[in-house]
Amino acid sequence: MSQNFLPMMRLNSIIFQLMFYATTAFFAVLCSVLAIIPGRKPMMLGLSAYTKFTRWLMEVVVDIQVDVAGKAHLPKSGAFIIAAKHQSYGDGIVMFSEFFDLSFVTGDHLEKFTLLKTILRKAGAVVVDSCGGSDAREKMTREAERVREQERRLLIYPEGHLSQIGTQHRYRKGVYHMYKDFDCPVVPAATNLGQRWNQNDWRKYPGEAVIEFLKPIEPGLSKEDFMERLESAIETRSLELLDMENLGALNPDDIGKTVENQSARAKREAREAKEGVNSHKPIELNRGAKS
């Protein structure tokens, strides 16, 4: 990478961040107003406009070219669940830009923002306790029932956290309970978008990024078989998508690691304390790098 290019990349990243946060603030106010209008369509139109405009900013300002692949794997009708890799705030933005009426599972930490709370409720989000546990599972099942009845698509990030590019968190079992309760297909989704927009990092890296829908997992599997198949599909394909010629935010030494960051550890310990389970040491395994 040339020395002249680095300052330009930093400048473009700063411009993008300023425009992104200004856009987000504007649409947060707009969508909260639209949420007052009866029905979901007006506010969902606002969310669709926000995600499409932000995706345009990604392409034009920081030259992140996103390819959404595997759409043929999406069921043509009926409710289904998308279980996706989560490396970036951009993940959800791209997903929403592809679907007009998409419900999603999110932690209750977002409800502390009044405007977001209003938007989440009107958007039909399934809001659960960020600490997880049996209460979260019960609420997830209860709230998701109405999503299933309306035959909507539901997006969930089974790791429960943003992952550093190349790594993964432990997969949480909530996705299985929804798979079982919905009795519908789960479509795994892999990505390498974190190479270009890594977690909530201010710096963005130009280049191609992929979000790919994989072959659906049909209903009827046991919890162990389902979780193994889901994790294997998402993690294997996400590693295969890594661009080793244009690393961006990727540190090759991180490839294949299973990690538990401070935030994830705090949430797990809070959940275990709530359920009266003895805590255990965090995972920090390296499963070996792949080129």
pLDDT tens by residue, 137-192 = 666 666 667 667 777 788 999 998 888 999 999 998 889 988 988 888 999 999 99
Instruction: Please state the domain extents for the chain.
Output: 64-286
Please tell me the distance from the alpha carbon of residue 11 to that of residue 5, in angstroms, as a whole number: 10
37: left (phi over 0), alpha (psi -120 to 50) or beta: beta
Asked whether 221 and 232 are in contact (CB, 8 A), the reply is: no
Cα gap 6→13, rounded to integer Å:
11
pLDDT of residue 27: 92
CA 142, 145, 235: angle at the middle one, nearest 5? 95
Q: Is 154 left (phi over 0), alpha (psi -120 to 50) or beta?
A: beta
pLDDT at 207: 95
pLDDT of the residue at 127 = 63
Q: Rounded distance, CA 204 to CA 47, Å?
A: 23
pLDDT at position 112, please? Answer: 60
Which segment of 34-43, 54-63, 133-142, 149-158 scores lowest on mean pLDDT?
Answer: 133-142
Overall average pLDDT of the 124-149 stretch:
63
Whether 249 has a pLDDT exceeding 70, the answer reads yes
Q: Is the pLDDT of residue 13 over 90?
A: yes
Average pLDDT of 29-44?
A: 88
CATH number of 64-286: 3.40.1130
Rounded to whole angstroms, the Cα distance separating 192 from 85 reads 9
CA–CA gap between residue 174 and residue 268 (Å, rounded)? 14
Would residue 63 be called left, alpha or beta, if left means φ above 0 and alpha means ψ between -120 and 50 degrees?
left
In this prediction, residues 71-89 reach a mean pLDDT of 92
How buried is residue 177: exposed, middle or buried, by Cβ count under 10 Å (0-12/13-18/19+)? middle
The pLDDT value recorded for residue 190 is 97
Identify the pLDDT of residue 78: 82
Indicate whether 2 pLDDT > 90. Answer: no
Average pLDDT value over all residues in the chain: 83
For the ranges 92-101, 119-128, 190-199, the one whose mean pLDDT is highest: 190-199
User: Full-prediction pTM beyond 0.85?
Assistant: no
pLDDT in tens, 258-284: 886 666 667 667 766 766 644 444 434
**Average pLDDT for 22-51:** 90
Q: What is the pLDDT of residue 279?
A: 40
Between the CA of residue 277 and those of 39, 136, 175, 266, 270, what are the distances in Å? Answer: 43, 16, 21, 14, 10
**Which residues does 54 contact at the CB level (< 8 Å), separation at least 6?**
20, 23, 24, 93, 97
Which pLDDT score, from 0 to 100, does residue 60 have? 96
Report, as an integer, the average pLDDT of 42-71.
95
pLDDT at 110: 57
